[in-house]
Chain A
């Protein structure tokens, strides 16, 4: 999604060197995807092996000076989630950004994710309702393809901040497929104001003077 496929991870003096995805070198990336010999190779690993790699990603990567470390996780409340919480605990994480789609079936699983956060002492920065409505490019009619409002309702029920709803936008999907910078290329997209506002809310959450 960040047009970094096929790049390699190198060993430096202070650890693995993450891959920079932009010219300004403002975004670096680490993923097991960089360690595969073939892109279609399946990583058929059980929990302990995954946990070990996640630990390494936190401790053995030479991240350098970072303002934000964003960790993308798979769905669930299992090995990967416990491993990353354990590995990051000494560094006082800001918290978790929890994403749901609007419909009840999705919200039903995300309720359990919120319980996980509470049980492991991970603060919830807020909840995002993704894929919230689709605006037909032909007639501008908005259809709630995956229902609407479930995320906001869950946030209210669980007492966590609701950060916003992001609508479905095929141009966003297309950008991710092409590895383009969506915000640069499609500032007029209906998804842009939503994503922007969520980013702003997170920035405003950052304590002043955080080193």
Chain B
């Protein structure tokens, strides 16, 4: 069946997930091609950053698993804030922290420093929602997690372009 995505063998928690369609490339508008017009950072742009992140255990993207959706991205360019809510495929998903961490790292690497970012679980979709949210909000814990070679390896795999 579906091969493991880096978590080493073993049974998958959700072996047969529903697969959602990928949205296409964002069409380029005339305004975007105009040198003079500034394009503000919007929800779609943030969504494009995170939709291609690979799931840690399926050879699928977070978008295909409906873990991230554009409607769950809130962004304000002038106030420099981003909030992303993600929905684990099952309420007991043990990958939730890892998925959140991948999203967080992707945003850290891709957004200007001025942004304050908040990554959390869609309310009511996970058993240990608060614990996970707390970990993701804690800067020091995120930094410490990235010092861990094994965790960093998995996160990097999630962020690598799909071959």
A binds B: no
Q: Which residues of A contact B (CB under 8 A)?
A: none
Q: Which residues of B contact A (CB under 8 A)?
A: none
